[in-house]
Chains A and B, each alone.
Chain A
Amino acid sequence: MAVHEVRVTNLPHLEDTRGKNLLYEIKTALHIYSISKIVTAKVYRFEGISLQDVDFLARHLLCEEVFQHYTINQPIIVDADRVVEVAYKPGVMNPEVGSIMKAAEDLGVNGLIAADSSHEYGFYGTITEKEIGLVLSRLLVNETVERVVPEKPDTLVIHGTPGVTETIPIRSMNDDALMDLSRDKLFLNLQEMHAIKNYFTELGRDPTDCEIETLAQTWSEHCVHKTFKSTLVVDGSLKKPLLKRLQEATFNARHPLVLSAFEDNSGVIAFYDGLALCGKVETHNSPSAIEPYGGAMTGSGGVFRDIMGTGKGAKVIASTDMFCFAPPDLPAEEVPPGCLHPHYLLRRVVAGVRDYGNRMGIPTNNGSVHFHRDFRAKPTIIVGAYGIMPAGDARKGQPQCGDIAVVVGGRTGRDGIHGATFSSGEMTHRTIDVNASAVQIGHAIEEKRLSDALLRARDEKLIRAVTDCGAGGFASAFGEMGQKTGVKIHLERVPLKYPGLAPWEIWLSESQERMALAVAPEHLERLLAICHEHNVEATAVGEFTDTGKLEVYYENECVCELEMNFLHHGIPGRTMIAVPARRPGEVKEPDLPGDWTEVCAKIMGDLNVCSKEPIVRMYDHGVQAGNALPPFGGVSGGAPNDAVVLAPVLGKKYGAVISHGMNPVLNTIDPYAGTIWAATEAVANAVAAGANPADLVLIDNFIWPYPDEESLYDLDQAVDACTDFVRATGMPFISGKDSLSSTYRSKDGSVIKIPPVVCISCFGRVEDVTATVSTDFKRTGSPIILVGKRDVNRMGGSTYFNITGSYTPGVPLVDLSVLPETLKAIYRACRNGAALACHDVSEGGLLAALAEMCFGGDTGVDVVIPEGCRPDYFLFNETAGCFLVELDDRVDAGELFGGIPYLTLGQTTNTKVISVSQGGKKLFELPLEKLLYAWQKPMKEVFGG
């Protein structure tokens, strides 16, 4: 059947914003200046309909003559020096195709068999082959999912016949053969391979590919968290597994709000009016490293489904994103082979988070971006989501024998196969080539309608249990749901994107936007009707049994029969050894700055301090109309707040607060202190906004290098820090995740360990959102109080030391005996209106916090530094858990803050400067305009605007 093409582009007199932006990126990221103009066009292809119908679609669907024109089966960019078409690879689902097919049908065009869409770029200028190659490989084509279209395709239909189920002769394999089987695919160690071999030897048969793959994903680090469950020998002494320690700390905290901790897809706490809040934070490093746009999208989509699949289903109300990259201006030759440039990664990851969250209508309103050279081999991509549900639905039901196993949402394709096992492996120069199938493009609208349908079904009490199909696909979802009963699945019933999948591929596919349900038989019909009304595909694919077995059939062939007990408990326990790491570093302290303005501008412009506003502006952070404290505010709208406060139930005054803390630089020096810093920072952010510390809970994320003995020692330290923090503050961890694959191994065997990241997220409830506080100074003449105990001479890992090339092993320590009272005092000051503005001290120190408060209030400040301390250390120290408070001048600071360390620092002024004096002598005056410029510049350069 003939394929017809429609090309659409803007009328020649109109600006091509897509082309303009690409040109900007080519100049700023690639430093190629030979292109004068880029014109873009959209290409649509249709198979199965006549030329007349194609023209009809062009006029009524594809092209709007107000600003566009089109051609059929003809080029449209005719005078460019070079035209390149970029499309998704065949088999990668193009989310737009479904809409095109639907609209064609709505318009009465029948017979359309297949359609596709892609983009064409026309380059004008004296661009060389080498340059075009760079533009394609670095900016336009991600070979994991995209390709340059060489010529018009003969057909758009993907053909294929189902693959067969193969038997793996594991019983006859020696150790070498076992490890060959594991490498690049299963990522299991020899001990685990032996356990599998022994199991099948006892059964007297060899496993199918389906069985091997099921075991590999269920036993993957990603799914089972082997390291966190291992017994540890730390520096010679035996210690409990990391996970156990975290869980015990939470249990011992006996926090009254906790409804569910560490047992569901997210942690759940009580909210108000019989409602509950839940939170989950995930990493998506490996996929994002090789396909940042798709990886970030599927990261967001996955964590949203974790919320949707908590208890009997929750509504997602917020999304957060925390990233770590190498500096965007890293010279291209320093990017390790097989890795992508950080400038590209940053822009594409942001685009992925943007496109998924915005389309699904989830406000992305808390996050941060961190930079360190050692992230050049692998970025850290952390995405969080928070939800709301009736407290009565906060716990899953237990599937019963006879319940129907239902798959809802997107269709199953070859996407993301081996995602779970791949995420558990190290990144190497081979990663991009071997694991291309591990990434796909997310489809936010599929997930949105799925969410709409599921919430309706939940409210009609049709759902016994629900979980998302994430890593490991059906194998993981049904394997877990049926763990206590048994389940039998018929794979031929699963709706597929295209034919040709082998049974094991259907079973393991990680196609996005799918969820698994257990539904009592009497509710099935109603459930299917609700899904139908929401344009959501829902299919009964099996039933829960009482056999204690995972049974999978394809037509009449049994492709998998595993005992649940072996699947979930057969993995050999591990004891792992941890030994202290040496941290070399030559002590070097800086001299006092000569030019204070220059140094302060450098601090404000440091990548870890600078404004991230251009990123936040691309996220729809206002959808759902919940904001009571947005990410940015103040006079010009550009001053960052510490946390986000949402009033998610419209018309009610109570709210949710969300914040986080992390500092990878500190962890490279002292993982214990760095982790305490992160937890303190997370909590301080929430409390600075006016949250009650008694109503806050925590989520941990450890993103660590592959746990060799030294890295494991660091990890052990970080976990000890977490549990110490719980004991000191009473705030429990209720959810968490570890990703222990941040190691890059190159062809020549050299290793890059990515800085260990601990991200601590904090969320909780707020009784009255109108008693919360923003960071912008509100008045002139107000006293500014510095509250909290600072460790002012420990400057290791600070921004100041970074820009001056200094080093000491002493990073700031948070005094956990003082912190709880400090938090309570800040909360009181916010609650009773005494605090007009409040900001916690973090990267960039006191100076950065003061400057941001000034930007927001369009005010200046007079600051007096206590005598006897180094003014630079005083201004730039980054001890967490300290706060700047603009106090109502009618309030006595002593009454509010008596008993905890505090200091009256100065007052707000109507000047445009930060004026600093010490010992009665003015030290310097900083023009705010200069600081603002330096602070806003870096991200404006990356993102434009």
Chain B
Amino acid sequence: MKPRVCILRTDGTNCDAETFYAFEKAGGECALVHVNQLRDGAEKLSRYQILAIPGGFSYGDDVHSGKILSVELTSFLKEQLLEFVDQGKPVIGICNGFQVLVRTGLLPWGEPGSIRVTLMQNDSGRFECRWVNLRVEKTNCIFTRGMEGAIVQYQVAHGEGKFYTDEKTLQDMEQAGLVVFRYADPATGERTQTYPHNPNGSLHAIAGICDRSGRVLGLMPHPERFVETHHHPNWRRSYIAEPHGVPLFRNAVAYVIKNL
């Protein structure tokens, strides 16, 4: 049985097709599900084993990026979401999806309605579309198994991606090992605060985080934009054993097959 992946979409979602493709390529069976279908009961999250919230500009990113969809999810689908997470099913939010997970409170502490971290406007004040180096930290995140310690390259494309929180939350998150991806210096592989390698000024160079269970992952960069060799801007001049986005999706699918 292929794990069923719910690719959640709404007005302004625009990375749904490539997220769909990335999961299908990894062995998932995907469905594009409009949030209206969940609201009116035509669809149920419980039918799926993986939830992906793709990138885009949900509802135009009005008020705050991802905010309007977060309000909708916590107002109408809180129980379904909590049940999904409690059953140990993986959730991934990419770019706008990460912003949504943070603003629902599912990240970092799994507390809907409680917003403890945020993604602010980039320090540059601009939308930034560029390839970055990311260090995969050692965590219990199920999406990055076998990738720990590696440097991967993904594209970022966002205007509001600066990870920010208060000092205490930051320490608590570091202590709990929730930081999965950090922007890295291409020369040294070490985390960096230097623009443009850290494209937004994120604290501690944080590009992606998970919850304590390791099953809910949010990240600003786009792994689904690197699942074919030719996606990389310099595939002509470098050897690419496997596109760097592929293992992320494969791990989620493998996790479901093994555990659910």
Query: Which A residues are closer than 8 A to B by beta carbons?
Result: 14-15, 17-18, 20-21, 60-62, 64-67, 95-96, 98-100, 102-103, 106-108, 354, 358-361, 443-445, 448-449, 533-535, 616-625, 627-628, 630, 632-635, 637, 647, 650-651, 769-770, 773-774, 776, 778, 857, 943-945
A625 and B21 in contact, given A361-B15, A533-B36, A617-B128 (Cβ under 8 angstroms): yes
Chain B residues near A944 (CB, 8 Å)? 124-126
One digit per residue, 1 when the CB lies within 8 angstroms of any chain A CB and 0 when it does not, for chain B 86-129 equals 00000000000000000100000000000111101111111111
Across the interface, name the chain A residue whose C-beta is closest to B199.
A617
One digit per residue, 1 when the CB lies within 8 angstroms of any chain A CB and 0 when it does not, for chain B 50-69 equals 00000111011111100110
- Interchain residue pairs A-B with the least CB separation, the first 4: A361-B14, A99-B62, A625-B18, A21-B125
Across the interface, name the chain B residue whose C-beta is closest to A451.
B14
B222 contacts the other chain (CB 8 A): yes
| Chain A proximity of B197: nearest CB distance (Å) | 11
Chain A residues near B125 (CB, 8 Å)? 17-18, 20-21, 944
A449 and B126 in contact, given A61-B63, A66-B117, A533-B34 (Cβ under 8 angstroms): no
Alpha-carbon separation in the docked complex, A769 to B232 (Å)? 13
Q: B235-254: which residues lie under 8 A (CB-CB) from chain A?
A: 236-237
Chain B residues near A449 (CB, 8 Å)? 11-12
Number of A-B contacts (CB under 8 A): 186
Alpha-carbon separation in the docked complex, A448 to B10 (Å)? 10
| Chain B proximity of A742: nearest CB distance (Å) | 30
Alpha-carbon separation in the docked complex, A686 to B21 (Å)? 28
Alpha-carbon separation in the docked complex, A444 to B234 (Å)? 31
Contact A108 B36 (CB under 8 A): no
Chain B residues near A96 (CB, 8 Å)? 60, 62-63
Q: Which residue from B34, B60, B103 sits with its C-beta under 8 Å from A359? A: B60
| Chain B proximity of A869: nearest CB distance (Å) | 33
A359 and B57 in contact, given A66-B165, A100-B63, A620-B157 (Cβ under 8 angstroms): yes
Contact B233 A630 (CB under 8 A): yes
| Chain A proximity of B211: nearest CB distance (Å) | 17
| Chain B proximity of A800: nearest CB distance (Å) | 31
Contact B118 A445 (CB under 8 A): no
| Chain B proximity of A562: nearest CB distance (Å) | 38
B71 contacts the other chain (CB 8 A): yes
Contact B126 A99 (CB under 8 A): no
Across the interface, name the chain B residue whose C-beta is closest to A44.
B63
Chain B residues near A634 (CB, 8 Å)? 234, 237
Contact B18 A945 (CB under 8 A): no
Across the interface, name the chain B residue whose C-beta is closest to A19.
B125
Contact B120 A67 (CB under 8 A): yes
* Extra 13 A-B pairs, beta carbons < 8 Å, given A99-B68, A635-B237: A64-B118, A65-B115, A96-B63, A103-B68, A106-B75, A358-B127, A444-B12, A534-B34, A535-B11, A616-B129, A778-B236, A778-B237, A945-B124
Chain B residues near A65 (CB, 8 Å)? 115
B44 contacts the other chain (CB 8 A): no
Contact B68 A102 (CB under 8 A): yes
Across the interface, name the chain B residue whose C-beta is closest to A95.
B60
Contact A67 B126 (CB under 8 A): no
Alpha-carbon separation in the docked complex, A720 to B54 (Å)? 49
Across the interface, name the chain B residue whose C-beta is closest to A42.
B63
A444 and B57 in contact, given A17-B125, A106-B71, A617-B128 (Cβ under 8 angstroms): yes
B166 contacts the other chain (CB 8 A): yes
Contact A445 B59 (CB under 8 A): yes
CB<8 Å pairs between A and B, sample of 8: A14-B120, A17-B122, A65-B115, A66-B118, A102-B72, A359-B57, A443-B60, A637-B233
Across the interface, name the chain B residue whose C-beta is closest to A651.
B21
Contact B118 A67 (CB under 8 A): yes
Alpha-carbon separation in the docked complex, A60 to B71 (Å)? 8
Among the stretches B134-142, B176-184, B223-231, the one at the interface with A is B223-231
Chain B residues near A623 (CB, 8 Å)? 14-15, 18, 55, 157
Chain A residues near B255 (CB, 8 Å)? none
Contact A651 B116 (CB under 8 A): no
A633 and B233 in contact, given A108-B75, A617-B129 (Cβ under 8 angstroms): yes
Q: Which residue from B71, B117, B228 sits with its C-beta under 8 Å from A61? A: B71
Alpha-carbon separation in the docked complex, A358 to B160 (Å)? 13
Alpha-carbon separation in the docked complex, A633 to B195 (Å)? 18
Please classify how large the interface on chain B is, using the bins under 10, 10 to 19, 20 to 34, 35 or more: 35 or more
Kindly name the residue among A354, A616, A628, A773 whose own CB sees the greatest number of chain B CB atoms within 10 A: A628
Alpha-carbon separation in the docked complex, A14 to B123 (Å)? 11
| Chain A proximity of B2: nearest CB distance (Å) | 16
B164 contacts the other chain (CB 8 A): yes
Alpha-carbon separation in the docked complex, A448 to B14 (Å)? 8
Query: Which B residues are closer than 8 A to A by beta carbons?
Result: 11-15, 17-18, 21, 25, 34, 36-37, 55-57, 59-64, 67-68, 71-72, 75-76, 103, 115-118, 120-131, 155, 157, 164-166, 195-196, 222, 224-225, 227-231, 233-234, 236-237
Alpha-carbon separation in the docked complex, A647 to B36 (Å)? 31
Chain B residues near A637 (CB, 8 Å)? 130-131, 233
Alpha-carbon separation in the docked complex, A449 to B9 (Å)? 10
Across the interface, name the chain B residue whose C-beta is closest to A62.
B63
Across the interface, name the chain A residue whose C-beta is closest to B123.
A17
Chain A residues near B121 (CB, 8 Å)? 17-18
Contact A650 B18 (CB under 8 A): yes
Alpha-carbon separation in the docked complex, A620 to B161 (Å)? 14
Across the interface, name the chain A residue whose C-beta is closest to B22.
A625
Chain A residues near B122 (CB, 8 Å)? 17
Contact A358 B57 (CB under 8 A): yes
Chain A residues near B13 (CB, 8 Å)? 361
Q: Which residue from A21, A535, A773 sits with its C-beta under 8 Å from B36? A: A535
A618 and B155 in contact, given A100-B63, A448-B12 (Cβ under 8 angstroms): no
| Chain B proximity of A572: nearest CB distance (Å) | 46
Contact A445 B12 (CB under 8 A): yes
| Chain B proximity of A6: nearest CB distance (Å) | 11
Across the interface, name the chain A residue whose C-beta is closest to B62.
A99
Contact B233 A99 (CB under 8 A): no
Across the interface, name the chain B residue whose C-beta is closest to A779.
B237
Contact B75 A632 (CB under 8 A): no
| Chain A proximity of B27: nearest CB distance (Å) | 14
Across the interface, name the chain B residue whose C-beta is closest to A768.
B230
A354 and B127 in contact, given A99-B59, A622-B157 (Cβ under 8 angstroms): yes
A107 and B118 in contact, given A361-B56, A444-B57 (Cβ under 8 angstroms): no
Chain B residues near A618 (CB, 8 Å)? 126-129
| Chain B proximity of A614: nearest CB distance (Å) | 8
Q: Which residue from A15, A17, A647 sits with its C-beta under 8 Å from B230? A: A647
Contact B14 A106 (CB under 8 A): no
| Chain B proximity of A486: nearest CB distance (Å) | 36
Alpha-carbon separation in the docked complex, A359 to B158 (Å)? 10
Alpha-carbon separation in the docked complex, A96 to B25 (Å)? 37
Contact B129 A619 (CB under 8 A): yes
Alpha-carbon separation in the docked complex, A625 to B20 (Å)? 11
Contact B75 A617 (CB under 8 A): no
A632 and B233 in contact, given A21-B125, A449-B12, A618-B129 (Cβ under 8 angstroms): yes
Across the interface, name the chain B residue whose C-beta is closest to A104.
B71
| Chain A proximity of B84: nearest CB distance (Å) | 20
Contact B233 A107 (CB under 8 A): no
Alpha-carbon separation in the docked complex, A444 to B121 (Å)? 20
Contact B130 A625 (CB under 8 A): no
Chain B residues near A627 (CB, 8 Å)? 230-231, 233
Alpha-carbon separation in the docked complex, A129 to B134 (Å)? 48
Chain A residues near B230 (CB, 8 Å)? 627-628, 647, 769-770
A64 and B18 in contact, given A533-B37, A943-B126 (Cβ under 8 angstroms): no
| Chain A proximity of B229: nearest CB distance (Å) | 8
Q: Which residue from B12, B18, B131 sits with its C-beta under 8 Å from A624? A: B18
| Chain A proximity of B105: nearest CB distance (Å) | 11
Contact A624 B17 (CB under 8 A): yes
Contact A773 B116 (CB under 8 A): no
Alpha-carbon separation in the docked complex, A9 to B131 (Å)? 31
Alpha-carbon separation in the docked complex, A359 to B127 (Å)? 11
Alpha-carbon separation in the docked complex, A361 to B157 (Å)? 11
Chain A residues near B55 (CB, 8 Å)? 623
